[in-house]
Structure 1
Amino acid sequence: MIKPVRHVHFLGICGTAMGAVAAAMKEQGFTVTGSDEKVFPPMSDFLRGRGIALKEGYCAANIPGDADLVVVGNAIGRGNAELEEVLNRRLAYQSMPETLRNFFLRGRRNLVVAGTHGKTTTAAMLTHILRSGGLNPAFMIGGIAEDLGKGASLHDSETVVIEGDEYDTAFFDKGPKFAHYLPSLAILNAVELDQMDIYADLAAVKKAFGLLMRVLPENGVLIFNADDPNSREVAAASRTKLKFAAGLGPAADEKSRATDLHHEPEASHFTLLGTRFSVPMVGEIYVRNAAMAILAAHHCGVPLDVVQRALAAFRGVLRRQVLRGERDGVRFIEDFGKHPTNIRETIKALRHRFPGARVWAAVDPRSNTMCRAAIQHDLTNALAHADGALIGPVDRPERFGPGAALDPAGIARDLNAQGRRAFSESGPDAIVTRLREITQPGDVVALFSSGSFGGIYEKLLPRE
């Protein structure tokens, strides 16, 4: 007999997605509790403000006696005291994506934005455009969009925009999260080798994205990146009858191709669907993201003139080409930079944004992909687009076997051989010292990190 669900407990509740789902379930009338290894603002304040009881640290006693369902975050593994208690008591448990599907996505129009790159920005653009068009979509995005003010809102709406994460779902489900999201429309951006802690090679990545094609229904819609051969290959497996091959190049459908590109320091301009669009972000990567968001919004019924105005007003996503400040005439740009492709495209975009300026790239190798020797060649080639580069030490190199970790000194050596000024540094303090030695007024420094870069901005920029 299936027991009615009244009390839901979340393991790892302070993650962005977990917290959003927990808050939404509380709003639906469920009793919600949760625990996490670290409980701190702003998420702790957000959850407690909604009446959700939190426990810091994991122990068996945290599992309520009347819990009907336990939602297990994907960072929770065997050996966790609460998970072991759940298993020992034979309690009902499921992953966050399953919970999202079962309680929020069934029967709705779900727009799933996937791909190695551009997920967050494209999903934020699409959500912003749909809101401007009066559709008021629910959304879950893996970043904070300036226009939305938060990463998620699971209010009651016919339409839901979801960033489709390819990372694995839970300790018991190693498939990608997006396989659970019941897409009616899917956006597939570029497909590359990433998340190298769970994907051994590009074939494994393609297989994972192939799952999204397998769950997209025949009456669904697929918008894919026609400029990327891997995306084209994955999209070919979809059984959906309505496909849009979007992009800038000849592989794109004529009606789905962005043309007449023009970049200015503060915006990119292009034509699509017979309409001239402007997006206040610079670079081809953002034009491609915008093109897919436009096609999706237009398919959902938003008039092109509304799309045009909304896109022109889009304010972007935190940690994507954000000007953090200026000191002694040197401008410092923050970017997420979790993959060589992101770094290459951002450097190219900064050439348009700051014409004539010297562009330096400082890299904090932190993500599982950025720390590995497998991306040595690609990262070197990406940094060659800058005038000079500074590479910090690999985060926790002991995770990798001999020869498996990125070699920052080798990258600096190769770049110097190509005529670039490049330095392998011992950490953020050394990077700050070096930047003060080599930069001059008018220079631009792009700082790439998926973490905090060791508090480097507080060291680089004057205090107000």
Structure 2
Amino acid sequence: MKKYHFIAIGGAVMHNLALALVKKGYQVTGSDDEIYEPSRTRLDNAGILPQTYGWFPEKITEDLDGIILGMHARIDNPELQRAQELNIPVYSFPEFIFNQSQKKTRVVIAGSHGKTSITSIILHVLKDQGVDFDYLVGAQIEGFDLMVRLSDAPTIIIEGDEYLTSPLDRRPKFFHYQHDIALISGIAWDHFNVFPDFSVYKDQFAQLMKMTPASGALIYCAADPLVKELAESINLSAQKIPYHAHPSKIEQGKTSLSTPEGEVPIYLFGEHNLQNLQGALHVCTSLGLNPSQFYESIRTFKGAAKRMERIKTNGKTHLFRDFAHAPSKLKATADAVKTQFPESKLIAVQELHTYSSLNKDFLPNYKGTMNQADEAIIYLNPHAVALKKLELMDEDTLRKGFDRADLKLFTESDQLKKYLLSKSYENTNLLLMSSGNYDNMDLEEIKAKFD
């Protein structure tokens, strides 16, 4: 029986990988200095929740087959130091995923935005069509109990993040997967804390493209000028497959795909989602499915959690939740809702939560991103700003940065909730965007406004 120890087991992907290894029959232990829900309950149910929070070098024993190191751990972590003393192999989770999938066809979905949605579409279609595959995806998807699966399947679909690999490896995660097929959805500056120069950020994607083997394929969104420029300037022996948004039409707030087989109704909407869908179609056909199979299965795809998720509707007005935090994601999401429901008012709420979004120097990148909203609201948590050692921006600064003179700022979660509850949502859609949770703001009362 293989035996692995997770340093920082509580993370979203880390705890899912731990659960996947338990499911595979491996012996798993772990440590962390904090574990939140749902990770805590899921680890506890599997019998691998650490009894005490903290780092314990005595957990690191010579009989371990390896250490899986999370990004949350520091380089001076005492468990990591003990593992190095004992010469136990230390893997980041992308290195471990590659270690477990060297004999598989590896498909990597990358890009500044859309990668979770594209990966989710592919997973849904493959499962619906009875294809055996492994996967790594960054969100919970309907019909999948885990965000990671590792088995003897011949193919693995991987959401490839450009963020740093681990405390020991400052390269993007997606370099480690050594893809056979790569899809690049879009390039828009993100992760300002580790890529303060946009040219360096762009170059990570150029390097990824160049890694495509001659026997593989590079699928890229030609609607994104930066992606198109890079993909067309790189000399590759591999097949290059450009894509744009899938043809579609909107009638009475519902989108359908225009296909050779007629109109195919779908739950997704918005230009970026139609681009995501077209990219996913190319991946699926590259793996052997035909377009008819894709269209058959896409009808029932409802989306990944927090990706344009319709969490409440009365049929006329809608409450949406989206993971959007970077400027390109924010603009695409707000634009999509307004385009889908042009006759309805749109109230858009954005929580600035990441290091990039809270950084005053990065703020100009948000100019115009909320222009489609009839009412634009920003939420900032002063404590989150202080933890990142940044300056708390005031309402006037944010209004100038977003180029919205009417933008409203809230810095207390209960005050934001009170304001949203005071609004009438007749002929009005509410869009909540954040990679956080508005400091655990309870949405149940807000949902009730959409009964």
Superposition TM-score, scaled by structure 1 size: 0.87
Of residues 39, 49, 72 in structure 2, which corresponds to 1:75?
A: 72
Where in structure 2 are the equivalents of 1:108-187 lying within 5 Å?
Answer: 108-187=104-183
Where in structure 2 are the equivalents of 1:32-431 lying within 5 Å?
Answer: 32-39=28-35, 41-50=37-46, 52=48, 54-55=50-51, 56-102=53-99, 104-235=100-231, 236-237=233-234, 239-248=236-245, 258-259=246-247, 261-264=248-251, 267-271=254-258, 277-325=264-312, 331-393=318-380, 396-398=384-386, 407-412=394-399, 421-431=406-416
Gaps of 5+ in 2: none
Equivalent residue letter for 1:214: K
Q: Distance in 2 between matches of 1:226 and 1:77?
A: 39
Task: Describe the shift of the 1:414–1:193 C-alpha distance in structure 2 as closer, same or farther (beyond 3 A).
Answer: closer
Q: Distance in 2 between matches of 1:320 and 1:389?
A: 19
Contact 1:374 1:406 in 2 (8 A): no
CA drift of 1:460 comes to 3.0
Tell me the SS of whatever aligns to 1:204. Answer: helix
- The one-character-per-residue Cα deviations of 1:96-139 (angstroms, maximum 9, x if unpaired) are 1111111x210101111000000000001011112223212211
Taking only aligned residues, the RMSD between alpha carbons, in angstroms, comes to: 2.8
Contact 1:125 1:293 in 2 (8 A): yes
Contact 1:147 1:314 in 2 (8 A): no
Task: Describe the shift of the 1:461–1:22 C-alpha distance in structure 2 as closer, same or farther (beyond 3 A).
Answer: closer
Of residues 1, 6, 10 in structure 2, which corresponds to 1:10?
A: 6
Tell me the SS of whatever aligns to 1:13. Answer: coil
CA drift of 1:400 comes to 6.2
CA drift of 1:223 comes to 0.5
Task: Describe the shift of the 1:406–1:290 C-alpha distance in structure 2 as closer, same or farther (beyond 3 A).
Answer: farther
Tell me the SS of whatever aligns to 2:213. Answer: coil
CA drift of 1:446 comes to 1.0
Contact 2:124 2:297 in 1 (8 A): yes
CA drift of 1:43 comes to 3.1
Moved more, 63-72 or 282-291: 63-72
Q: Distance in 2 between matches of 1:297 and 1:392?
A: 39
- The one-character-per-residue Cα deviations of 1:248-290 (angstroms, maximum 9, x if unpaired) are 4xxxxxxxxx33x312455433446887554311100000000
2:446: which partner in 1?
460
Task: Describe the shift of the 1:53–1:346 C-alpha distance in structure 2 as closer, same or farther (beyond 3 A).
Answer: closer
Contact 2:360 2:393 in 1 (8 A): yes
Task: Describe the shift of the 1:183–1:272 C-alpha distance in structure 2 as closer, same or farther (beyond 3 A).
Answer: farther
Tell me the SS of whatever aligns to 1:24. Answer: helix
Task: Describe the shift of the 1:440–1:51 C-alpha distance in structure 2 as closer, same or farther (beyond 3 A).
Answer: closer
Task: Describe the shift of the 1:79–1:355 C-alpha distance in structure 2 as closer, same or farther (beyond 3 A).
Answer: same
Contact 1:140 1:152 in 2 (8 A): yes
- The one-character-per-residue Cα deviations of 1:380-437 (angstroms, maximum 9, x if unpaired) are 40112211111122553336677x765543233677x86x632122222222333345
Of residues 431, 436, 440 in structure 2, which corresponds to 1:451?
A: 436
Q: Distance in 2 between matches of 1:48 and 1:397?
A: 32
- The one-character-per-residue Cα deviations of 1:305-360 (angstroms, maximum 9, x if unpaired) are 11111111111111122233369x97432111211221211112112333311101
Moved more, 164-173 or 314-323: 314-323
Contact 2:30 2:48 in 1 (8 A): yes
Tell me the SS of whatever aligns to 1:453. Answer: coil
Contact 2:74 2:167 in 1 (8 A): yes
Contact 2:338 2:372 in 1 (8 A): no
Q: Distance in 2 between matches of 1:186 and 1:31?
A: 32
Equivalent residue letter for 1:376: L
Aligned residues: 445
Tell me the SS of whatever aligns to 1:455. Answer: coil
Moved more, 452-461 or 111-120: 452-461
Q: Distance in 2 between matches of 1:375 and 1:443?
A: 31
Task: Describe the shift of the 1:310–1:443 C-alpha distance in structure 2 as closer, same or farther (beyond 3 A).
Answer: same
Superposition TM-score, scaled by structure 2 size: 0.89
CA drift of 1:378 comes to 3.4
Q: Distance in 1 between matches of 2:2 and 2:252?
A: 53
Moved more, 61-70 or 130-139: 61-70
Q: Distance in 2 between matches of 1:50 and 1:238?
A: 48
Task: Describe the shift of the 1:458–1:269 C-alpha distance in structure 2 as closer, same or farther (beyond 3 A).
Answer: closer
CA drift of 1:238 comes to 5.7
